[in-house]
Amino acid sequence: METSLYVRLSFLQFLQFFIWGSWFVTAGTYLLETLQFSGREVGMVYGTTAIAATLSPFLLGLLADRYFSSEKLLSVLHFLGGGLLFYLSKVDHFSLFYPVMLLYVLCFLPTFSLAHGLCLHHITDTNKDFPKVRVWGTISWILAGLLISWLKVEKEVLPLEIAAGFSILQGVYCLTLPKTPPSPQEGKNFFQSLFDPEIRALFKDRSFVVMIVALTLICIPSSYYYSFVNPFLNEMGVTNAAGKMAIGQVTEIVLMLALPFFLLRFSFRNILFIGLLSWGIRYGVFIIGIEWNSELLYMIGIALHGVAFVFAMFSAQIYMDKKVPTHLRNTAQGFYTLLTLGFGVFIGSYIAGETVSIYTFDSNLHDWAAIWLLPAVIGVVVALGFWRLFGSGKMEA
């Protein structure tokens, strides 16, 4: 891959994840402590990502595949998202905050699959080069968390304003990206492409179906992490919580760069099993950390994020890209977003919000050991089910 192309695609990933990282992880603290939303309401706010992921990325991926250039769609969506975030930063009532947030994520969530699809379109060797491009998204996530921590604004609205500003910047930058025109198939209209036989054929592959079911279910424990780990750390008295959560992204960077090594030497079944299992184990580590009052164990649980994300979510994304034909890349990435941020997160955000509400004391403190028990069990059960039902073999299309 040419250096100039590598830089351009890497900066796309950098801005994409800086927007998300600026507010997504710390928003739970802002919503719980500053706006005084209930645990159920916070779960509903995070659940908007699931609704958006269910409705928009798959359809917009099809539009990018059939009718519109990816870079232009990205630009329009980021401009709209930036405006909505600026407005959202002025809202402090749940009745208005929720629908505006839903409109925002309807614009923003599709940009993940579109950005990944654009990168994959211009990358020749997916296994080798995509991790090196995508890793800049993780680096920017770390920098965003460190910035929010350094500014000490986890309980303030500034993270939303920062994300809004970078969304506008991303909208401008997308217009400079390599042209990625649609690849329409002659004789097929938009609705026919929803039922493309090459998409339907994937669902006749048992291992593929097992994988997508496991990815959907593992998003239940992942919803607990993204919504409530930052408030958990702050309540446990961990200083610089947002900055220390970047430990998970550091391990993510290391494993993402090492993933080509693992893909060449180990079966996809083994890689994904370890990733799925890590989602459950991390909550067990949190529970033990609470019992032992050990910040070190909290940090170990956070560090497991790299294993959980790269070995489960990211490796599955590469696997899916290799399974589908080139002209359906954006569709496949949209479908991946539908699974990982859609159905599973919708259920997971609801369950997580209800769990936190149930185990909230009158003092507004929480029984975190009880809260973490359910995602720990789900993570382990999903991993074992995947291991039992998925076929064997190395990563191959």
The better pLDDT of the pair 32, 174 is held by: 174
**Residue 237, Cβ density class (10 Å: 0-12 exposed, 13-18 middle, ≥19 buried):** exposed
Q: Return d(Cα 10, Cα 137) in angstroms, integer.
A: 8
Which residues span the domain enclosing 145?
3-181+195-389
- Residues 384, 223: contact at Cβ < 8 Å? no
State the Cα–Cα distance between residues 48 and 144, nearest whole angstrom: 22
Token readout for 200 is 């339907």
Please indicate, yes or no, if residue 296 is contained in any of the structural domains: yes
Helices 94-122 and 3-23 cross at an angle (nearest 10°) of 160
**Domain membership flag for residue 295:** yes
Main-chain dihedrals φ then ψ at residue 394, nearest 5 degrees: -85, 170
Write out pLDDT tens, residues 22-58: 887 667 778 888 888 887 888 788 778 777 777 765 5
Question: How far is 360 from 26, CA to CA, in rounded Å?
Answer: 19
The pLDDT of residue 179 = 85
Tell me, yes or no, whether 260 lies in a domain: yes
Given a contact cutoff of 8 angstroms between Cβ atoms, the answer to whether 107 and 80 are in contact is yes
In a domain, 189, yes or no: no
- How many alpha carbons lie under 13 Å from residue 94 in its C-beta half-sphere? 17
**Residue 156, token pair as written in the block:** 């303030």
Q: Residues 6 or more apart from 111 whose CB is under 8 A from it? A: 16, 74, 77, 78, 81, 170
Q: Tell me how far apart the terminal alpha carbons of the chain are, to the nearest angstrom.
A: 22
Exposure on the CB side of residue 138, measured as CA atoms within 13 A: 24
Tally of domains within the chain: 1
68 pLDDT higher than 90: no
Torsion, CA 221, CA 223, CA 226, CA 231, rounded to 10: -90
Amino acid at 177: L
Whether residue 329 is predicted with pLDDT greater than 70 in this model: the reply is no
CA 107 to chain CA centroid, Å, is: 15
In a domain, 14, yes or no: yes
- Buried residues in 137-175 as b, exposed as e (16+ CB within 10 A): bbbbbbbbbbbbbeeebbbbbbbbbbbbebbbebbebbe
What pLDDT sits at residue 71? 87
Residue-wise pLDDT tens digits, 183-218: 554 444 444 555 667 667 767 778 888 888 898 899
CA distance 134 to 122: 13
Which helix (DSSP H) or strand (DSSP E) does residue 244 occupy? helix 241-244
Asked if residue 396 belongs to a domain, the reply is no
Cα–Cα distance for residue pair 288/246, rounded to 1 Å = 21
* pTM score over 0.85: no
DSSP letter assigned to residue 179: P
Amino acid identity of residue 388, one-letter, is R
Q: Is residue 157 part of a domain?
A: yes
Give me the mean pLDDT over the 162-186 stretch. Answer: 84
Mean pLDDT across the chain: 83
The CATH number assigned to the domain holding 92 equals 1.20.1250.20
Residue 201 inside a domain? The answer is yes
